[in-house]
Amino acid sequence: MRKYFGTDGVRGRVNQPPMTAEFALALGRAAGYVLTSHLSHTPHVLIGKDTRLSGYMIESALCAGLTSQGMNVLLVGPIPTPAVAYLTRSLRADAGVMLSASHNPAGDNGIKFFSADGFKLPDEIEMEIERRLEDPPPLADPREIGRARRVEDARGRYIEFLKASLPRGVRFDGMKVVVDCANGAAYGVAPQLFSELGCKVTAIFDHPDGLNINAGCGSTAPEAMCEIVRETGSDIGFALDGDADRLIACDAHGNMIDGDRMIAILAEHALSEGKLQGGAVVATTMSNMGLERHLDRMGLALLRADVGDRYVLELMRQRGCNIGGEQSGHMILLDYNTTGDGLLTALQLMCAMRDRDKPLDRLAADMEVFPQRLWNLELDRRWDVLSDPDVRQAVKHAENSLKGNGRVNVRMSGTEPKLRIMVEAEDEALLQAVGEQLVGDLAAILQSKGDASGSRACCA
């Protein structure tokens, strides 16, 4: 059983266990000991972070723990998560670490490890680190303590990597682009990237102060981006999240394009270029039925993984697929990078527009979207709700009510004590009726067991 590592590293509220300076120091010691034990040379680890105020504290403590075990540390400062994955490979580091809580508010932070190949650490290594957290390792000899140094050109290296993902000579001269940087890790990289490719860039939420990351902006609140696209007559808009591994786009009319539509566009473009691998794309149990039908018309399969980029990536590698992603905008394009990359996704969407000579709204219109709604039920604590027979019976009843014309997906949040309830149907009225009934039934069941606050919120 995992105690600290979740599906996306260690994450929590800052200055509350486990996200404290003391824990970061202990985690650095444990990780440093485990990682050095698997190598015959003095290892190097690269550390990046987003713009959260707590990044200074966590970075310093983690660096101290790693160097105390004899690891040399490369500090790259605020930079997107996919840049850490790329730079870990490019700089021949033995591991990489990203300090970020992604789309969460500034009061949260997280610690995510990458192996030398840019993929997340294998489960067995994470479990070994957890065991060493409970059994602190001996410290290195004073003469074997590691060094730390800054890498000054990390952003430039990442920008060049992104531009190299485009066909030789491709530029986007004159294209008007709005980019919402979420006051996060891409605040410097994103505007520079699009400018260097010839775009007329309107950058918004690109002045981080340590506390405003994801605050009413970014991929979880893209409305401002959509409005500015309309106001400025721009061709396209992009909203990143705090660590820039997610992307929500919008067309010239300000209509949002989510991850499902982006998968459809990128898969069709790759198929036309003879670059799609595996005869399928990977999405999650949350992805719209419209995507499944759209891919089927192209002769492609939709493979569904559990929610979480870790599970999407696992299934992609198992089935030999090179395109996968989540409805939330976390897209993995394995031809280019080993993790979700919002800016890479943006460039590939622009390539699809250019190569097919169509604006984004026409590319997105090819896929019909089924009505879908998501409800959240807040819990008092995390527990195995879905094993409860009353809960399972309520979900089964809802599925039967749809009579094969929709889907129900109920799961625990991977990071919060919340039950996420998704209902999808061809008919909006049926969807709403079944969804409201299911949410009410589940709220009553959980309240009867004393484990739910009873509060609920509905979002599109």
Q: Is the dihedral of CA 34, 39, 110, 5 positive or negative?
A: negative
CA atoms within 13 A on the CB side of 159: 16
Which stretch of DSSP H or E encloses residue 329? none
DSSP 427-439: SHHHHHHHHHHHH
Taking phi first (over 0 means left), then psi (-120 to 50 degrees means alpha), and beta for anything else, what does residue 205 get? left
Which stretch of DSSP H or E encloses residue 184? none
Strands lying side by side in the sheet with 323-325: 301-305, 280-284, 323-325, 331-333
Contact indicator for 78, 51 with CB cutoff of 8 Å = yes
DSSP 456: E
Q: Which residue has the tokens 């992009």?
A: 238
CB atoms within 10 A of CB 150: 10
Task: Label the pairing between strands 323-325 and 331-333.
Answer: antiparallel
Contact indicator for 422, 356 with CB cutoff of 8 Å = no
C-alpha closest to that of 50 among 3, 14, 26, 4: 14
Report residue 7 as tokens: 């599906």
Of 54, 68, 100, 102, catalytic: 102
Q: Compute φ and ψ for 223, nearest 5 degrees.
A: -60, -40
CB atoms within 10 A of CB 320: 11
Active site residue 102: yes
Task: List the end-to-end C-alpha distance of the chain, in Å, as a whole number.
Answer: 34
- Within 8 A by CB and 6+ apart from 396, the residues are none
Q: Which residues are catalytic?
A: 102
